[in-house]
Amino acid sequence: MLAVACGSLFAQSIRPIPWKDSPIRGSAVVKGQMSAKQSQTGTVRKTFFFPEDVVFPHLATGDGWETEITLVNMGLGPLDFALYFYNPQGSAFTVTLREQPSGEPITNSAFEVSLESGASTTVVLVDTTPGLLQQGWAVVDYTGDNSRLGGHATFRQRIAGRADYEALIPMSSYEDYAFLLPVNDSAGFITAIAMCNPSANVSANILVQLLDVDGFEIARREVALGPQQHVATAIREWFPQIVGQYATLYVESDTDRLSAIGLRFNTAGGNSFSSVPIMNWIGLL
């Protein structure tokens, strides 16, 4: 897109653009009533990038945290795409990006990127707010029947006097509206969940069902997310009875739009952490 002096962020084909509402639209009527967990015949979702895999359902920056985003143009031709950031309330999330390895920092809530076929870019959400953790989510917007982006995000925590901790998550689907999440809150572990409603036009009422290791319900609650809203919490904040236990969450939205990821923290191991991918299958519905 732009080719000027090396070392400039603009030379690496990233530039700020006006922020807008999420390009994702959803339906509040296609699914009907929420239901408890059930098994039906279906097909396994294959593990490659689909056109709907355009959401980073959780991002963290500040207070020692930063998020690194890597995107790869998997198509056969050049691709221009936009990257939009949203705060938990669904409004513009202003972040400071620096392209690796030597880009200049640039601050905005939306960016345009250009990549040639097979090219990649890696950007870091820089920690610019010491002592203040900021969280949100992001969506990648592009068009073209033969275009495809792959990518992942890496959460990184830096604390003086110890090695950095990291966890990686792939770019997620905006259609993860029914899924299972394994929970381990035994022996000093804490499992957390982050969800966003990536739709700009519909609110989501989300059933969260806590199941024991035999699949029986322990408790349930509903979580409401307005358009573009986001929530991140330890599972024990919703279900205190999980402390010291193994379990599974079943999560289902009443709309056809939802993105999510799990995280597990080892409080007995210096608060190291790892990602916990959600498990979904068309047979869940």
Q: Is 176 helix (H, G, I), strand (E, B) or coil?
A: coil
Per-residue confidence in pLDDT tens, the chain, 285 aa = 222 233 333 334 788 888 888 988 887 554 444 444 443 333 333 334 456 679 999 999 999 999 999 999 999 999 999 999 999 999 999 999 998 887 789 999 999 999 999 999 999 999 998 889 999 999 999 987 778 899 999 999 888 888 888 889 888 999 999 999 999 999 899 999 999 999 999 999 999 999 999 999 999 999 999 999 999 999 999 999 999 999 999 999 999 999 999 999 998 877 888 899 899 876 565
According to DSSP H, which parts of 102-247 are helical?
Answer: 235-238
Give the helix/strand (H/E) hosting 56. Answer: strand 53-61
Report pTM.
Answer: 0.85
* Residue among 204, 206, 198, 85 at smallest CA distance from 134: 85
Give all domains of the chain, ordered by start, each with its CATH number: 10-25+52-173 (2.60.290), 178-284 (2.60.290.11)
**Measured distance CA(199)–CA(76) in Å, rounded:** 29
How far is Cα 63 from Cα 192, in angstroms, rounded to an integer?
18
- Which residue, among 268, 240, 262, has the nearest Cα to 250 in the 3D structure? 262
